[in-house]
Every structure is written in structure tokens, then in C-alpha cells.
Chains A and B, each alone.
Chain A
Amino acid sequence: MKPDSSALEVRGLTKRFDRLAVDSLDLTIHAGEFYALVGPNGAGKTTTLRMVAGLLRPDDGGVSIFGIDALANPVAAKQVMAWVSDEPMIYDKLTPLEYLEFVAGLWGIAPSVSKPVAEELVSSLGLAPHRHERCEGFSKGMRQKVALAGALVHDPRLIILDEPLTGLDAVSARHVKGLLGMRVRAGCTVIMTTHILEVAERMADRIGVIAAGRLVAEGTLTELRQQNGHADTSLEDLFIALVTLQDAA
């Protein structure tokens, strides 16, 4: 982790639909860090990440990705990041390899580079037997793996994942966690929302707890425990305590 270089800086990020979804959010994520964003349903996690990924225009505030102003220069910002949503959106009529070829083409990666990477990803995610089959008959877990491979095929510096483990079986989930861990060790930054607090507890360098569109706590697990005065409590207990406190406020 290099605390001096930030992969993502969010300042005063605000989004209102029929109610305030994200409320002047400030967030800094360092390069090479695995950051988990947790919070109750409707807390604003997905909205925040969709604004960072350029899928939603904020009402106010700024987003900087590796020093690039993502609102002023979205194409340059998108070049270095990847987005994976909880609902895998892939093309039913393409095979996994065709899908990866398309994604690599969109990011302008030369075929000589993307083909071996795609083959490796397909193998490491256990999709090799299905590499030439169209995705239309794939289970949700397989589709999620294809979407994840698409996010990794262009070697992004920042990966944003919204509930990536939803629908995956235990073996696939371990595959995905292993793959993400390897990417982080190689210097990639990962931001992930999750409802599985155990994953956040075990994998994340830092954890951000978001409620009602605001960051209510942030830090390593130890720091979160210290902030709340519970030395040996689990993240689940901490999370419930923080969210209940926020609800009461």
C-alpha cells in the first residue's frame, strides 16, 4: 500500500433522486489497496460506485481517478478502470472468448496481448470447457465469471465491483477472491461493495461503512474497533452498531 498516491479521490459527491442518495461524500482510496464499501440496503453504495464509474452523473462534487478528473475527461479515466455490476451483463449470443475479444477491442488492446490474457482468465475462472459455447445457457455464476474476466482482460489499474460474489458457489467465490487478491498484490486497486461482511473482514485493507449516503466510519478492522471502543468484536457486530447508531441519529 502506498498511502501517498491515491487511486480514487471523491470530494463532496452528491446525488439526489426522489431523496438524497449520496450526501456530500468524501472518499480517498490509495493505489494498490483493497477497499470494501459496506452498508445497509439503500445506503448509497451502488450509486456512489456508479458515479465513480461514469455511469451516473453526480449532482455535485468531483471524482479523480489516478489524478484524472473523471467528470472533465471521462474517456481517459475509463481507460484505466473496470466496472463489474452485481447483475452480470453479457451478450447471450457471444461465447466467453468472443466477449473478451470485444471488451479488449473496446479498450484498444492489441490482439497479440489480449488473446493469451483472455485464455488465461478463462482457464483460471474454470470456464475453459465452455470457452467456445454461447453464454445463453450459462448459470448466473458462470455469467458473473465471464463479466469478471471482461473486467480483467484489459489489465485495469482500478477495479470497481458491485457485489461480485452474489450468485457464485463456494468454489467460484474462492476463485474470484483469489484472483482479486492476486491483482491487488500486483499493484491493482480494488473497490468492492459487499453484503458478505466476512469477505470484507478477511480481504479488505480498509473498510468504509456507508449509511444514508454518508461515510459513517472508515479504516482497517483494528481502527474501526478502536474507533468504537470494542477491542475484539467482529465486523458484523461493529457494522450493526454503526448502522443502528446512524439510524438513531
Chain B
Amino acid sequence: MSSATALSWFARHELRLAWREWFAMMTGGRRRRARAAVIGLLFFAALLHVPAWAVIGRFANLQLPLDKSSLIVISATIFLAWTLMLSQAIESVTRVFYARADLDLIMSSPATLANLFSVRIAAIALTVTVMALLFSTPFIDVLLIGGGARWLAAFGVVIAMGLSAAAIAIAVTILLFRLIGPARTRFVAQILAAIIGAGFVIALQVAAIISYGTLSRFTILTSGTLAAHAPDIDSIWWWPARATMGDVEALLLLLALGLLLLGCVMAMFSGRFADTAIDAAAYGTSSRKRAKERPFRGGSRQQALRRKEFVLLCRDPWLISQTLMQLLYLVPPALLLWRSFGDSSAALTLITPVIVMAAGQLAGGLAWLTISGEDAPDLVATAPLTPSSVIRAKIEVVLIAIAVIFSPLVAALVFASPFQAAITAAIIIVSAASATAIQLWFRVQARRSQFRRRQTSSRLATFAEAFSSIGWAATAALLLTLPTAGIVSGLITAGLVAMTWKFSPKRA
């Protein structure tokens, strides 16, 4: 087999793997769901045109040349999309290093590893770009319909962004490997991937709060101060914005830059990719995290179970990264709370739904980890405890963890507004309990390491959990502003949770 044939064969193999991974994610690993997944996807894509129209429909008629404020808003939006792609790309690269079971086979084969890993790097770039194209298509469609064919150039910008995001992600991950080793890289990359996408929005919000006392990031983007400090209109910093709006020269330059970056990364890192993969594979057998010697602790059987769950939660890198991200999301409202202290500002009301939403989301993740993500199910099932006492102990762990994380915020809120604090505390409990209940009704036996795929086991549970968190957040906000509407919203959300229970699998 010639080198070129071998490469094209390996590229086909990579694409088939990527397609099957994506297909399994969409269908929950069940081929019979393929038609439902396609219909759902098409419906979701069609539905996405509605918010897309609401968000960017009014910008469809924008024409070059633009003023600085418009360039800033468009560039910031592009940068935000790029950070999200970068986050996804880091996650993909880490997965290739740690989770692909074919590394032994590839590295023991007589093929040239640098070539094979160049293909794998290209496959990562392609996956990231295709996903970005899928999500950006409704938005670009809206611009195309409203503003004409010149917006087709936006697809080119998305491709350039995908290529550059994949290139940077590979470089960052391999550098992390070299700097901090495989054990820490996995953890740090997870945290990086989790916070990179959110970090930019949160930074804008923090700047808006400090400067203008509002959570709206657009306030800072459209401010005169930022425009005054921004580069000139003909600066290269505005190339992505200009390329998006149909400037062919800027678009070609961006695409060339993206390809060049990816080419450089392939040339520089495809050889090291193999070393890094070997290190990552060896990490599994060489990691030796030690615990201190201490006496065994007594207590009831349920206490033993709770203690085990807390230890595992504290040692769970996913949970730590997610908790950090939730805490990061809470920085802007906490900052707003600090600024509005003693002030009856309406902006303070915004804090409650943010906190409630974060509590619901975190409780859902924690509940999956403790209830479904049991690594020794046979041990727990053969222990002399009733199944109900096992479940009760696990639910207690979720609720205690939520209480520990959110109590300080509620306590701070008491000083600003006791009524708001009471509403916030009550709805946090309801939201966390709803998310936990949904995870309990739809529980499946899984390993904790399968957390990434938890959404694929039941789409209904995933949507119900998301709607429940949003519903309770809206209820809390409305109870503080329009109590009657709040009660209606609460009843609707409770009804939704009850409906979810009705559709959950029946258990003996």
C-alpha cells in the first residue's frame, strides 16, 4: 500500500469513527432511534431559526464600512463563538489522547506515525468545524434571507475559526503535557474546556457591572469608552468582522491563516502526538496518588455510604471543573450583589434566577454521579441495606452538597433582602429536588467515567432537567416581581416535572 493510499484509508477510518461517535451521541447508541434523531435534529435546526432571527435578524442589513461600535459587537460575537469552538476542540483532543482504545494498535503498526497523527489532527479540525457549521447555519441563514448572498462569506469565517481553534487546542494540550505531565493535563484541560467558553462572557459581564452597574454585556461593547480605545477601522483586528460581511480579501486571508496555523501545528506536533499518546496511555498504570494513613471511621451503614459519595465527589475532576464553572457563572451576580448592597436596585432581583438555575443544573449532574454513576453496583446491591435506604443516602449527599455550595450566597442575600433570600432558598431546594428526582426516575446503571454521555441515555430526562431548571429560575424571578405570575409559572413547572414522572420508566 502506497503512503498516499494508506493516508486516505486512515482518513476514511477516522471519519467513520467520528461519524459513529456523533451518531451514537445523537441516538443514545440505539440504531433504531436514527429516524427519530434525524427528525429531532431537523426540528431543532428549524426551531433554532426563531431565536436566531430574534438575536441577529436586525443586523442583516448592515453594510461595510461599519462604525467602530458595530465592528466591536460583531468581533466580540465571533470571538465568543471561537472560544466555544476552542473549548470543544480541547475536549476532543483530550479524548483522543485518553479515551481512544486504538492507540496500542496504531502505534504497534508499521505505519509512519507522524503521517497517521497528521490525519488524526485533521480529523479533529474537521469535526470541530462541522459542529460549528451545524450550530451557526441557522444564524447565517437568517442573515442570508434578510441581507443577501454576501453573508455566505460567514460560512468561510466559521471554517477558518474551526481550523484555527483545532490548531490552538492541539498546541495548548501538547504544551500542557510537556509542562505539567499527563496526570494534571487531563484535569487542567477539562477545567480549561469548561471555563474558556464561559470566561469571555463572564469577563464582559464583570466589566459591565463594575463600569455601569448592569449585567448586560452589550452595555460595555457599545460604550463610547471602548470605541475610543479600540484599534482603527482599517486594523487587521477587524478582519473577521469584515470577512463575515462579505469582504472577500479578508475572508481569503483568514482562511489562509487558519490553514497555515493547522499546517504548522501538524508539522510541529504530529511527531510529538505519538509521544504524548504513549505518555497518556502510560499514565493509567503509572499514576500513584496517595492518601494519608488514618483510622477507620465508624457510624451507620448510611453514613458509610454518604462518606464514600462525598470522597468520590471531591475526587471527581469533572465535578470540580463543573462546580468551578457554576461558581464562575455566579461571579457576576455576586459582584452585582456586592455593588447593590443596601440598595433596593431592581438589578438585584436578577441574582435569584441565576443562582436557582445554577443550583438546578449542578444538582442534576451531582444526582447522576451519585445515583446512576455507581462503579461498584454489585457491592452496594449485595450489602445488607434496603434499596430505599441506599437511594435515600445518595439523595441526601446531593442536597447536602447543594446546601454547602449555595448557603453562603443566600446568607449574603439575607443582609440585602431577607424576603428575596427566603424565596431564593426555597426555590433552590425545589429546583435541586426536581433535578434530583428526574435523575432518580430515569436512573441507569453506568460508570462515573461515562458522565459525558449521560445526556444520550434519555433525551426526555435531559430536556426535562433543563426545562425544570429554567422553569424554577423563572418562577423565582417572577415571585419577586409579579407574585401571581410566579405562582402560575411554579404550577406549570411542577406540572412539567409531574409529566416527566408519568413518562419515566416503570420499576418493579
Contact = CB atoms under 8 A, between A and B. Distances in A.
Say if A and B assemble together: yes
Nearest to B316: A93
Contacts of B376: 89-91
A223 interface: no
A225 interface: no
A104 interface: yes
Contact of A108 (B311, B382, B384): B384
A108 B305 CA distance: 11
Contacts of A89: 375-379
Given A90-B376, A102-B307, A107 B384 contact: yes
Nearest to B303: A105
B290 A133 contact: yes
B287 A105 contact: no
A80 to B, nearest CB: 9
B381 interface: yes
Nearest to A118: B296
Interface string B280-296: 00001111111111011
Contacts of A108: 300-301, 384
A90 B376 CA distance: 5
Nearest to B290: A132
A57 B381 CA distance: 12
User: B286, B296, B308, B375: which has the most chain A beta carbons within 10 Å?
Assistant: B296
B205 to A, nearest CB: 34
A111 B297 CA distance: 6
A91 B309 CA distance: 10
B286 A94 contact: no
B268 to A, nearest CB: 31
Given A93-B311, A133-B288, A134-B288, 9 more contacts: A55-B378, A57-B508, A83-B379, A105-B298, A105-B308, A106-B301, A108-B300, A108-B301, A134-B289
B63 interface: no
Interface in B492-508: 508
Interface in B373-390: 375-386
A118 B386 CA distance: 25
A41 to B, nearest CB: 20
Interface string B233-263: 0000000000000000000000000000000
A141 B375 CA distance: 17
Contact of A95 (B291, B380, B381, B448): B291
Interface in B401-456: 448-449
Contacts of B377: 89
Interface in A60-109: 75-76, 78-79, 81-83, 85, 89-95, 97-98, 101-108
Given A91-B375, A95-B291, A104 B296 contact: yes
Contacts of A82: 382
Contacts of A106: 301, 304-305, 379-380, 383-385
